[in-house]
């Protein structure tokens, strides 16, 4: 066969998974180098790594700087709760291998994800080649369903299962499914060794720090499994309490660093990530909302379908292990209960829609696994004479779906709307490199130029993205206002910049988000300071929006007035922190309304999507003007 069977239940290396993972990563990046052949690796990381907002945390972890303020004249004594375990691998390897580490770690985490899914399936006694294909199919599925709707559900939610977005779900899904794999071993095996108990503690700590929504899911799942063992063996707890305590101990040891960062973090950071306190009224509203989602036709249909499949498969327990079928049903129920359990016990919550997303993700996964179990049964009973052909088919399908992924990825790159912007960043890199001694302080209001600045070893900023900084709201607001004043934006135009703006499905303001993210989230559950100081259309949108719509941003009129007054009253006559380079988006309101002092700066003209200004004394300015 093209792919020879190479699998043992306890073996963490599988040559087939490695080869397929390598081919996926190789052709993924080969496509990027082929289409954008004039780019260096830094440019590709800036555009092909989906979430650049987490990239600065790599430098924070390397420097052990958990209080990054970035601005020379503004300091912070508080911390920022960086999800250290989802950044750690990238930080260490970046120190050793620089920018090539991102490619290597994509290969590593893809391999880890696929091997974990393969091990879960083969531990269910599923044929190796069917398990191999299913692992590849689960990986490719988010790409196939990205633009698909079913029962009015956008199936792009399934992207949260696994993709190359750093660090979620690239890293976090590996941690989570490792926990699921350990839970399966725990449920299946009567004897669970101490090292496995320790692995459970480690896995739970990694998931807790990286993505707590999955942590709640795993805790409920392990609780179900523990109860099932107690029902079978009354002496189970007495015989295993020491191992359980060791597991809890290692969990606590590993989460302490993050808890320290969280407890001593900048208090405004919690509001920035959309965290709200859950009083009794809020808890009731959220519980009712989730119950209403549970009792919709589409969810009842999925629940009945999965329940039916469970009972249908149980009839074949001679061939399909009863425990495997039950395990995935427990996982399904644990996922459904997760939001209810969390709302009841937690004093606060942030971005709770993730719980709903994972109900969709796990429901999809379990439907795939149950179908796989059934197909495995059919192959053993009806196709045993044709097993070799059967294996060939799934080998071919594995390679075929990899081809589908590459085709989708290639088409996505080919139709990339950022082509001109990517070229601008190539030019921008050359500009920075050629004027490295002259350009030391950056003014920009976008995360990507700021990350590029860090990649170039620069550390001075005139403005910084709020989500990567430990500064408080007052500091961020004042700095933002001073910089817009420096750009000679009029008060009336400032008012237009901060005004509430309606997009296709929500209100959003990228400039307010730049300085405060979800501080001004507005939905039927909460608004800023529980204000009703909005116009009629805004109030209507707020009241009709889901309480899980954290990403909708609407400022009350009083806040707009406060910011406007702050802008009109600020004095920058003594503003001495002049940036060496200003980078603005040509389509942004900030650029449209700005009036850069051309006695101090010159514009570098060869950009399409960016507007770049540098101090007149810079060498490139002299060349540009010459």
From the list 387, 371, 395, the residue with the least C-alpha distance to 17 is 395
Domain ranges for the chain:
1-48+79-170+386-416, 420-625
pLDDT < 50 regions, the chain: 1-2, 626
Please tell me the distance from the alpha carbon of residue 127 to that of residue 131, in angstroms, as a whole number.
Answer: 6
* 3-class secondary-structure state, position 349: strand
Greatest Cα pair distance in the chain = 87
pTM over 0.85: yes
Give the residue ranges of DSSP H helices in 64-165.
84-97, 101-122, 128-144
Tokens of 186: 């725990």
- Are 542 and 577 within 8 A, CB to CB? no
Tokens of 162: 């696994």
- Are 464 and 471 within 8 A, CB to CB? yes
3-state percent breakdown (helix, strand, coil) of the chain, nearest 5: 65, 5, 30
pLDDT of 462 reads: 95
From the list 182, 143, 133, the residue with the least C-alpha distance to 165 is 143
pLDDT of 1 reads: 46
Q: Enumerate residues 6+ apart whose C-beta is below 8 A from 397.
A: 133, 137
Q: How do strand 348-349 and strand 276-277 relate by DSSP bridges?
A: antiparallel
Phi, psi dihedrals of residue 441, rounded to the nearest 5°: -130, 125
Cα distance between the two ends of the chain: 66
Q: Where is 432: in which H helix or E strand?
A: helix 419-434
**Residue in the block written with tokens 């979620």:** 168
Please tell me the distance from the alpha carbon of residue 186 to that of residue 183, in angstroms, as a whole number.
Answer: 5
pLDDT of 559 reads: 97
Tokens of 356: 């709903």
**Residue in the block written with tokens 């001073």:** 482
Q: Enumerate residues 6+ apart whose C-beta is below 8 A from 309.
A: 367, 370, 371, 374
């Amino acid at each position: 066969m093209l792919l020879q069977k190479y699998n043992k239940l306890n073996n963490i290396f599988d040559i087939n998974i490695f080869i397929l993972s390598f081919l996926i990563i190789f052709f993924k990046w080969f496509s990027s180098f082929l289409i954008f052949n004039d780019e260096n690796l830094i440019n590709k990381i800036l555009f092909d790594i989906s979430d650049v907002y987490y990239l600065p945390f790599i430098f924070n972890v390397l420097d052990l700087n958990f209080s990054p303020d970035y601005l020379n004249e503004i300091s912070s004594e508080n911390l920022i709760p960086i999800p250290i375990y989802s950044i750690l691998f990238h930080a260490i390897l970046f120190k050793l291998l620089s920018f090539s580490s991102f490619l290597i770690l994509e290969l590593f985490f893809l391999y880890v994800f696929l091997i974990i899914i393969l091990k879960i399936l083969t531990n269910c006694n599923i044929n190796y080649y069917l398990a191999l294909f299913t692992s590849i199919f689960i990986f490719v599925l988010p790409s196939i369903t990205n633009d698909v709707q079913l029962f009015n559900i956008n199936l792009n939610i399934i992207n949260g299962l696994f993709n190359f977005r750093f660090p979620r779900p690239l890293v976090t899904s590996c941690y989570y499914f490792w926990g699921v794999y350990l839970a399966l071993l725990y449920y299946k095996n009567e004897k669970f060794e101490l090292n496995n108990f320790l692995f459970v503690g480690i896995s739970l700590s990694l998931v807790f720090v990286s993505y707590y929504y999955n942590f709640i899911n795993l805790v409920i799942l392990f609780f179900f499994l523990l109860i099932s063992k107690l029902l079978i063996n009354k002496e189970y707890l007495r015989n295993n309490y020491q191992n359980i305590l060791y597991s809890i101990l290692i969990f606590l040891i590993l989460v302490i660093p993050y808890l320290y960062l969280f407890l001593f973090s900048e208090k405004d950071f919690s509001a920035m990530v959309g965290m709200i306190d859950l009083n009794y009224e809020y808890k009731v509203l959220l519980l009712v909302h989730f119950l209403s989602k549970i009792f919709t036709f589409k969810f009842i249909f999925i629940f009945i379908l999965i329940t039916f499949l469970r009972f249908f498969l149980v009839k074949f327990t001679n061939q399909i292990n009863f425990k495997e079928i039950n395990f995935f049903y427990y996982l399904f129920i644990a996922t459904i209960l997760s939001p209810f359990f969390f709302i009841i016990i937690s004093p606060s919550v942030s971005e709770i829609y993730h719980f709903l997303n994972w109900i969709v993700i796990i429901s999809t996964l379990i439907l795939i696994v149950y179908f796989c179990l059934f197909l495995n049964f059919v192959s053993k009973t009806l196709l045993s004479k044709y097993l070799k052909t059967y294996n060939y088919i799934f080998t071919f399908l594995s390679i075929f779906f990899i081809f589908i992924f590459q085709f989708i990825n290639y088409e996505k790159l080919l139709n990339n709307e950022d082509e001109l912007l990517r070229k601008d960043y190539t030019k921008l890199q050359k500009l920075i490199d050629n004027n490295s001694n002259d350009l030391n302080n950056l003014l920009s209001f976008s995360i990507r130029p700021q990350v590029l600045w860090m990649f170039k070893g620069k550390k001075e900023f005139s403005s910084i993205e709020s989500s990567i900084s430990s500064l408080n709201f007052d500091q961020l607001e004042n700095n933002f206002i001073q910089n817009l004043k420096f750009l000679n934006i009029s008060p009336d135009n400032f008012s237009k910049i901060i005004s509430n703006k309606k997009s296709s499905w929500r209100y959003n303001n990228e400039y307010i988000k730049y300085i405060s993210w979800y501080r001004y989230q507005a939905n039927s559950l909460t608004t800023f300071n529980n204000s009703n100081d909005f116009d009629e259309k805004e109030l209507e949108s707020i009241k009709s929006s889901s309480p899980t719509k954290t990403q909708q941003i609407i400022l009350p009129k009083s806040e707009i007035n406060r910011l406007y007054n702050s802008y009109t009253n600020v004095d920058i006559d003594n503003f001495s922190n002049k940036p060496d380079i200003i980078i603005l988006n040509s389509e942004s309101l900030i650029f449209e309304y700005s009036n850069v002092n051309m006695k101090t700066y010159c514009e570098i003209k060869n950009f399409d999507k960016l507007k770049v200004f540098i101090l007149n004394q810079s060498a490139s300015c002299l060349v540009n003007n010459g």
